[in-house]
Amino acid sequence: VNRITLLTDFGTLDGYVAAMKGVLASQAPESMVEDVTHDVAQGGIRKGGQVLARYWRRYPEGTVHLVVVDPGVGTDRRGLAGEADGRFLVAPDNGVLSRVLESAGTWRLVALEPSEILPAPESPTFHGRDLFAPAAARLASGLPLESLGPSVENPVFLPEPAPRSRGGTTEGEVVEVDRFGNLATNLPPDQVRRTGSVRVENLEVPLRTTYGEAEEGELLSLVDSRGRVEVAVRNGSAARRLAAREGTRVWVGRKGV
């Protein structure tokens, strides 16, 4: 059974997502469609890419991941289809695939081009329905990637901010805040394992293996389910406790540097 997953910033209320699902049902009738989320903030390309990183390789090979966070609809940004480690991807060329491309063993991409195989969009403002969903349906139906357009070697790439080392200290930052108020950082896990703690503001936050090693309401750091150093509060919100958000600075190593 073929699966198509769907991540957008459309919300569900207006029926835009359902219009896309209708196209998928019409053009890839044997596929199952699974919702990831439609609650990404409007134009939230970075967050969309981080979410995609959590699930794209958990699905089996052959799955089609359709990602429509597309603030550039109606401009000349390209539409992409691709294959990475056996999973297919369809998305606008705006960097939302960056986390996939940097972690994939192998990938190849094509630029979606109207043709006998892929009809021209009916509306210039709804490529989710008229361009990306038809492309996803074609991949789910087994059409070869190359039939959708010419090869692309230089997709838009949005790097994650890199940590900076000086002396014995590394300065990093919060790169993602989740619903629970957990703070994912870009600090190097190995260095944190050596020092055994992370510094946020004036606090040394001890490294634990899991939430259960901290007291209820206590701050801890750990290596999260994606392998990143995370700052958390057991059964609480580190974001609220520390008034932290994306971009908040964190450190590992000698203090006062």
**Rule CB under 8 A: which residues touch a second copy?**
1, 3, 5, 7, 10-19, 21-23, 25-26, 29-30, 32-40, 42-43, 47, 50-60, 63, 71-76, 122-126, 129-130, 178-180, 209-213, 222, 224-225, 235
Burial of 119 (0-12, 13-18, 19+ CB in 10 A): exposed
Q: How many helices (H) and strands (E) does the chain have?
A: 7, 15
Task: State whether residue 140 is helix, strand or coil.
Answer: helix
With both helix axes pointing from N to C terminus, report the angle between 133-140 and 16-27 in degrees, rounded to the nearest 10.
30
Q: Quote the least distance from Cβ 11 to a second copy, whole Å.
A: 4
Q: Quote the least distance from Cβ 202 to a second copy, whole Å.
A: 26
In terms of CB distance, is 119 or 124 closer to a second copy? 124
In terms of CB distance, is 159 or 179 closer to a second copy? 179
In terms of CB distance, is 50 or 248 closer to a second copy? 50
8-state DSSP, 51? H
Spatial contact of 189 and 250, defined as CB atoms under 8 Å apart? no
In angstroms, the CA 185 to CA 200 distance is 11
**At 35, which amino acid appears?**
D
Q: Which pairing describes strands 107-111 and 87-92: parallel, antiparallel, or unpaired?
A: unpaired
In terms of CB distance, is 169 or 237 closer to a second copy? 237
Q: Quote the least distance from Cβ 121 to a second copy, whole Å.
A: 9
In terms of CB distance, is 74 or 119 closer to a second copy? 74
Q: Quote the least distance from Cβ 196 to a second copy, whole Å.
A: 17
In terms of CB distance, is 165 or 223 closer to a second copy? 223
Q: Quote the least distance from Cβ 123 to a second copy, whole Å.
A: 4
8-state DSSP, 70? -
Q: Quote the least distance from Cβ 14 to a second copy, whole Å.
A: 4
Sequence-distant (≥ 6) Cβ neighbours of residue 54 within 8 angstroms: 226
Q: Quote the least distance from Cβ 167 to a second copy, whole Å.
A: 32
Phi, psi of 100 (to 5 degrees): -70, -50
In terms of CB distance, is 62 or 171 closer to a second copy? 62
DSSP-assigned states of every residue in 79-99: EEEEEETTEEEEEESSSTTHH
